[in-house]
Structure 1
Amino acid sequence: MQKFLAATAMLLISAATSLAGEFSFPSDAPVATVSIPDSWQPSETEYGVEATSDDGGTYISFDIAGDSDMDKVMTQVFDFLSENGVEPDPATQKDSKDTLNGMPFEAIDWSGKDKDGPVSIGVGIIGLSAEKIAIVTYWASVETEDRNMPEVGKILATVKPVN
C-alpha cells in the first residue's frame, strides 16, 4: 500500500478539488463522512459508499464495521474483489501502519491482476472510534493509478468520524 499511503501524504500538499458534498455513511446510522468528486459517481452501499474514477481505472470504497459485523464486512470486501476478477499476488503483500487525519490506519496492499491487466490492490482499516472502523477498499489499474492518485489522496483527506 506504498502508493496508497503516498496518496495520504499527497493530500497534505494537494490543492483544492471540486468535491461533492459530504457523504455520511452508512446512511441509516452515520459513523463517518467522506467527500468524493461528482465525476467519480459515488453511490451508497450496504455499509458505506463507493466510487470509481471517471476514467474507470480506480475504485475506492468505505465501509463501516464494528465488533458484531467486522467478519461479515471483511468477507464481503474480499468476495467483491474476487467476484470482479481481482487476484492479488500473495508474494507482494505489504503491511503498514500510519495515521490518517489523526486516526490509526493499518493497510495491506498487493500487486495483482484483473481481466484488464496489472492492478494495485489495498485494504485499509481506519480506527474511527473504540467501537467502529472504516474499511477502505482500493483497486486501481497500474496504467491509470498515478494519474488518479492525487484525487485518492484528496478523498482520503476528507474521511472523519461523525461527532
Structure 2
Amino acid sequence: MNKFLATTAIILLTAGTSLAGTFTFPSDEPAATVEIPDDWQPTETDYGVEGNSPDHGTYISFDVAGAEDMEKVISDTFAFLEQNGVTPDPASQTESKGEQNGMAYETLSWKGTDKEGPVTIGVGIVTLSPEKIAIVTYWASAETEEKNMPEVNKILSSIKPAG
C-alpha cells in the first residue's frame, strides 16, 4: 500500500508540470532558492519571492529572515494575510514538524475564510542555516486547493539553501 501511495504521489507531482524558474532570494543577500512555475507569475518581494496559481486560487510566498528581523518578517506575514481579508479559525489550528532537503521545518495550518469564501492557510518556518530561516506563507481556496496541491508540493520540495 505504501508503494502505491508513493507512486501515486510521484505521478501527481509530475502531472501538469509547467516551466519553472529558479529564484534566489532575497536578491540582495541570497539565502535560499526555490522553483516556481512561470505560469504562477512569480515576483520578488521585500524579503523573498511570491506567486499565484494560474486560477488565482492558491498563493505562496517565501521570505527570508535572520535573528535581527525574524519577528518583523513574521509579523509582516500575519499583517499581509489580514490586509488581504484572510481570517484563520483559531480552533482549527494544527501543527507539524519535519525535515526536507536536510532542513528542519515547522508549520501551522488553519481553516479559515477570505473575501471569496473558505480557505486553507499555512505558515511555515524552514531552517536554512543557523542564522537564516525561510517563512513560507500559503493560502488556498477550498475550491482550488486539491487541484493546485501537486504544484504546491513541487514548489515546496524545491526550496534549498543558496550556494
TM-score by length of 1: 0.91
SS in 2 for 1:96: strand
**Contact in 1 for aligned 2:36/2:42 (Cα 8 Å):** yes
Give 1:21 deviation, angstroms: 2.2
Q: Does 2:118 match 1:118?
A: yes
Task: Indicate the residue corresponding to 1:6 in structure 2.
Answer: none
Q: How many residues align?
A: 155
In 1, Cα distance between equivalents of 2:125 and 2:85:
22
Aligned to 2:60: 60
Counterpart for residue 153 of structure 2: 153
Within a 5 Å distance, the mapping from 1:48-127 to structure 2 comes to 48-127=48-127
Per-residue Cα deviation, 1:20-72 (whole angstroms, up to 9, x for no partner): 22100001111000010010000000000000000000000000001000000
Structure-2 residue corresponding to 1:135:
135
Which deviations, in whole Å up to 9, do the C-alpha atoms of 1:50-104 show, x marking residues without a partner?
0000000000000000100000000100000000000000000001101122210
Does the C-alpha gap of structure 1 residues 80 and 67 become closer, same or farther in structure 2, counting only changes over 3 Å? same
1:81 alignment partner, SS class: helix
Q: Using the aligned pairs only, state the percent identity.
A: 63
**Any conservation in 2 of the 1:111–1:120 contact (CA below 8 Å)?**
yes
- Scaled by the length of structure 2, the TM-score of the pair is 0.91
Alpha-carbon distance between aligned partners in 2 of 1:20 and 1:113, rounded to the nearest angstrom:
29
Distance (whole Å) between structure 2 residues aligned to residue 60 and residue 104 of structure 1: 19
CA RMSD of aligned residues (A): 1.6
Letter in 2 for 1:142: A
Q: Which has the higher contact order (CA 8 A, sep 6+)?
A: 1
Structure 1: gaps (5+ residues): 1-9
In 2, the alpha carbon distance for the partners of 1:117 and 1:13 equals 26
Deviation per residue, 1:104-153 (Å, 9 max, x gap): 01000000001110000000000100000000000000110000000001
Report what 1:41 is aligned to: 41
Matched residue SS, 2:110: strand
* Greater Rg by CA: 2
Contact 1:59/1:140 (CA < 8 Å) preserved in 2? yes
Correspondence for 2:13? 14
